[in-house]
Structure 1
């Protein structure tokens, strides 16, 4: 057995560069091209001592592709096969692929042809309940049935309202015959207001036109009906090092607080509360002076504990705080989808009898 280790910085992934100490992450070559690869639950390379999954495969290091059969097994229970399939000599997925969760439940089953989905596919949740079934031919995908995490069926025989999270972007629209129909809209996944940033139109399952704030397009739809995150074993093809070292803490996905009706509406709420008071006092004596109010946003979205953090007239500050206590609740900040506390800053700038204001939600408090 010939061990080959990857030390430090960027040979496989830029994530390794972010570490403050050298890391010993790599793989073992056995014979000509057989390898043992230590992976975490996201199918990223990690130190051997922290591996959840071990891949046994053939790897062409010059072209960085897998070839032939591969098997991924649980490190804790090597008899449990977590993923298995086959690559052509050109590194393309081919034939049946099967994956399982670390608890042994079936995760997915289906076939590829020339690296594209082919035939019928089944995808499941980790509790064993069905998640989605679809059919594919030459890359053309039709959604047959789909269920949410509660087990409720949302797509029945190709019909229903469908949402697909592609990471930073989420698409939503209706399916008919398993394909998009009518108008589909995309929004930033972390945007609680779900403000549309892209639209696409379909007629009888055929893409017609897409519209963005910058321009229209008619070449092809940007929608991907099946997010590859549901098939995590494909991450191994990228040969990326886990951004979290062995024994480290995985960084949480943080989302700041937001007003459900949008930033413009929130600004109008502030204006409606402070305008009557500011109209009654003399602010002409203040020349380009800031009043800064800071407070917290609770896990339930309530804005509270506002205080003046600037050298401004305290009486005016306290009256504005009194008015702003009536601000409506907002969508709370989240860490990995769970509500957490965060902060808000509201800044008023007074200048020769006029004023303007701005605000931001920021600095999520670590939990």
Structure 2
């Protein structure tokens, strides 16, 4: 993904001062002029900017835009592919203010909240598609607290911040577990998680498998988390609430129109490399690029891989070669009929090592030999 703030600034300067849309041949069209001095922005499902003709474009935002500050301003509306309003709100020079409301595809209210100086205040209320209440989270204190929760049968499981919570959420992006959902379950006291919590992976046939175990203290702080798949401890809790992706729009991040980017697979590669290769006491302050080729069968299983463009030291190359066999799957290339085909992928990545020797792999992209 890319930070596109400077690009947006220069692009806006061009067509706001000339009164015409700039020549963007060979470039992504991420925004365009709209009537009455407004600007139309093009986003995917997760509020990353994408080209207006990209097949993953799913949201259009119409808003004022302050070019000199590179921020949204005044009232805005977001529309889905069918032209239905999915979100409304207001920015004061980039700062969220007043009521924000999101809607299900049929137009029923999905959630509502009020912002003050960019922060939610009072109750953030979530609703099921049939209009019945789902979750109420209160933000009168520094930490959001789950005050009410109703399950899908309409039974209230949490009242006045106390009760039992079991809520299913989809994985937003690619994961190597092969399950589309994870389910959070645990006890809530005074609006905060307390004691023993679990996460289960869930498939479309309702098959469940234990994924994580967590222990929260009396303050609702995670004391210990354990990932059973990675056999590793962690100290940042998994999500408890539906993810409000609209926050991403304010960062003005863009994605190329490829499935590897849209699905989050390139981000997965970044996290996979960074998790396995964390640091080296002998390597510091390095910026470098590398690439490798991987051969795939029709189902996306790697059959061979070769480091192509090497890093600057043999030690770094050895580290990268250690990770390659640990990546069990890539999305297969497809023929015109949508069937998987054998192909060779070239994967490009960047490596940054800070002055403490910590590794950060980023900016992955994939080129396919047989599929553009």
| TM-score of the aligned structures, taking structure 2 as reference length | 0.48
Who wins on radius of gyration, i.e. which is larger?
1
